A and B are shown apart, each in its own frame.
Chain A
Amino acid sequence: MKRCINTLTIISTLGLAALSPIETTFAAGKYTIALIPGLTTDAFYITMHKGAEAAAKALGVDLVFQGASDFNPVTQVPVLNALTARNPSAILIAPTDKVQLVEPLKKASEAGIPVITVDTFIGDGHYQTGSGNADFPLSYIASDNVLGGEIAARALAKAIGDKGKVYVSNVKPGISTTDQREQGFKDEMKKHPNITVLETQYNDDDANKGASQFQSVLARNPDLAGVFGANLFSAMGASSGAKQAGATGKVKVAAFDAPTSIVPEIKAGTVDIAIAQHPAEIGYFGVLAAYAHLTGQSIPPLIGTGFTVIEKTNVDDPNVKRFIYSD
Chain B
Amino acid sequence: MNSNASNSEPVLDLEHISKRFGGLQALKDVSLTLYRGEVLALAGDNGAGKSTLIKTISGVHKPDAGAIKYCGEQIHLETPHQARDAGIETIYQDLAIADNLDVGGNVFLGREMVKRICGLPFVDRRRMRAEALVTLQDLDIHIQHPENPLRSLSGGQRQSVAIGRAIHWKARVLIMDEPTAALGVPEQRKVMEIIQKLKKSGVGVIFISHNLNDIFQVSDRILVLRRGEKVGERLISETNHDEVVRLMVAG
| A contacts B directly (C-beta below 8 A) | no
> Chain B residues in contact with chain A, CB under 8 A?
none
